[in-house]
Amino acid sequence: EDQVTQSPEALRLQEGESSSLNCSYTVSGLRGLFWYRQDPGKGPEFLFTLYSAGEEKEKERLKATLTKKESFLHITAPKPEDSATYLCAVQETGANNLFFGTGTRLTVIP
């Protein structure tokens, strides 16, 4: 049973072309939703934690939002250095671990 589904699987953008990545989740109770960035051959780098519907967080060109069923990672005017795989993970209430989606592989073309 999939708990976390990310779309699209891959996304190619021109530099400066804003877009959004989607993370849909199904859990009985959400303790937190996490966004990570992963570069090839590296471990995931923590970006954001969202805890409740309506919450938003921003960091440079990235903005994460959360509803009761999904989260969006908005990328505004991306640069080539934003190219990476973006992973979404959820932690259920009462659970200790994270369930990861399969990620969105973002490529930003100069």
Applying CB under 8 A, the residues found at the interface with another protein are 31-32, 34, 36, 41-46, 49, 87, 91, 96-98, 100-103
Q: Which is nearer to another protein, 45 or 56 (CB)?
A: 45
Radius of gyration of the chain (CA): 13
Q: Cα separation of 5 and 23, whole Å?
A: 6
Task: Show the tokens assigned to 53.
Answer: 């519907």
If the CB atoms of residues 90 and 108 are measured against another protein, the closer one turns out to be 90
CB atoms near residue 86 (< 10 Å) = 23
3-state secondary structure of 103: coil
Q: How far is the CB of 86 from another protein (least distance, A)?
A: 11
Closest CA to 106 of 35, 3, 14: 14
Query: Least distance to another protein from the beta carbon of 27, Å?
Result: 14
Residue nearer to another protein on the CB measure, 25 or 36? 36
Q: CB of residue 65 vs another protein: minimum separation in angstroms?
A: 18
Of 41 and 110, nearer to another protein (C-beta) is 41
Four-residue CA torsion sign, 41, 18, 99, 46: positive
CB of 95 to another protein, least distance (A): 10
